[in-house]
Amino acid sequence: MKLLTFSTLLFFSLIILNSSSTTQAHNITRILANHPDFSTYNHYLSVTHLADEINRRRTITVLAINNAGMQSLLDKHLSISTLKNVLSLHILVDYFGAIKLHHITNGTTLVSSVFQATGAAAGTAGYVNVTNLKGGKVGFGAEDNDGSLHSFYVKSIDEVSYDISVLQISQPLSSADAEAPTSAPSAINVISIMSKQGCKAFADLLRASKALPTFEENIDGGLTVFCPTDSAVNDFIPKYKNLTDAKKVSLLLYHGIPVYESLQMLKSTNGVVNTLATEGANKYDFTVQNNGEDVKLQTKVVTASIVGTLIDQDPFVAYKINKVLLPRELFKVSELAPAESPKPSKKKSNKKGKVDSSADAPADGPGANDEADNQKAADDNNGAKDGVTLMIMFFTFSIWFLVL
């Protein structure tokens, strides 16, 4: 009888475990709001939009600095975009709870930070050296700073296993690279960034086109670029060559929107967006449609998915997408899209252009295989949970066997 009760208990713990794997979203602003000594740090995470970056990532470690430490950083009078680089060095794209932190394999490791991951850092700047030291200390240092370890672990503020860990460190990580004055946004070389980050084919089209100046002129005021992968562009080349020069320009302009849209912003605004090719109402626009973590861009002809971020340096951001965006103004809806949207939309977008987020999503296109690392990490994490679930099931089963 007792054993039966025990197995029932195990059964329930199994259910709890499973449900916990579906509620993963964290909110760094809310986590730090409970810790007034980190209010300045929290404030600047929001101002720099890094809070959005932290919230959308999984398997992440935030190295938090208390108000006194932040004051020493603010005394340097860095611009907001430079401060963003410095703070992004404090967000590690791997999970270190207090326990893992004190048991690093071989006692030392280099961890990639968001500063590195967003493409803003040069060379090895953007990696953080984490080293176990004598007496249970853990030291941190920016790699471009000779790996000299000048900041130390203080305490764990909050941990959600293999999702987010928030750790206090004794002082800000100093890095010449992160603190270097950021180039004015207009000095950002769109073509070179795209070429280096896996969008060479699209960059080559843009380089040779009259569309390029329009992209460059928009950077200051905010620009979001959707860059199709090389294979998508290469497949499209025969059709591109078939377009007149003016239509080629329109097609390229169709891949930019004249505002800065972080991924978090894209995820929370469903609806029609105007592009750089838009002239007048309802021309050359497309619909942003979310489906959980996926952001889809729907023209009437094709549906593309965002598969990665090339650079996110407010006010300029570029994403990689898995298909060339084909505007209905240039391509027939029927001839290219049969597999994309077999069923007609039940809900038409209304005059304002906003689309109900509950409108039926189109059948999933290919391209889900080109996922971001953090998604993979989240899957690994789920894999670990599945392992635990299996073990519990096995245990429960053995006990039932004993009872019989």
Question: Which residues bind to ligand NAG, rule: CB under 6 A?
Answer: 27, 29-30, 33, 55, 105-106, 108-110, 129, 131, 147-149, 238-239, 242
- Minimum Å gap between C-beta 33 and ligand NAG is 6
Comparison of 141 and 308: residue with beta carbon closer to ligand NAG: 141
- Minimum Å gap between C-beta 131 and ligand NAG is 5
Phi, psi of 376 (to 5 degrees): -60, -45
- Minimum Å gap between C-beta 29 and ligand NAG is 4
For residues 153, 159, 163, 165, the Cα torsion angle rounded to the nearest 10 degrees is -20
- Minimum Å gap between C-beta 79 and ligand NAG is 25
Comparison of 242 and 358: residue with beta carbon closer to ligand NAG: 242
Burial annotation 349-375 (CB, 10 A radius, 16+ → b, else e): beeeeebeeeeebbeebebeeebbebb
Q: Which residue is nearest to ligand NAG (CB)?
A: 147
Comparison of 21 and 29: residue with beta carbon closer to ligand NAG: 29
Comparison of 27 and 291: residue with beta carbon closer to ligand NAG: 27
- Minimum Å gap between C-beta 324 and ligand NAG is 13
Q: How far apart are CA 384 and CA 387, in angstroms?
A: 5
Three-state SS for 275? coil
Q: How far apart are CA 339 and CA 344, in angstroms?
A: 12
Comparison of 332 and 347: residue with beta carbon closer to ligand NAG: 332
Closest CA to 59 of 134, 129, 112: 112
Comparison of 193 and 302: residue with beta carbon closer to ligand NAG: 302
Closest CA to 224 of 295, 304, 319, 305: 319
- Minimum Å gap between C-beta 254 and ligand NAG is 17
Q: At what angle do helices 39-47 and 80-88 cross, to 10 degrees?
A: 110
Q: How far apart are CA 322 and CA 235, in angstroms?
A: 12
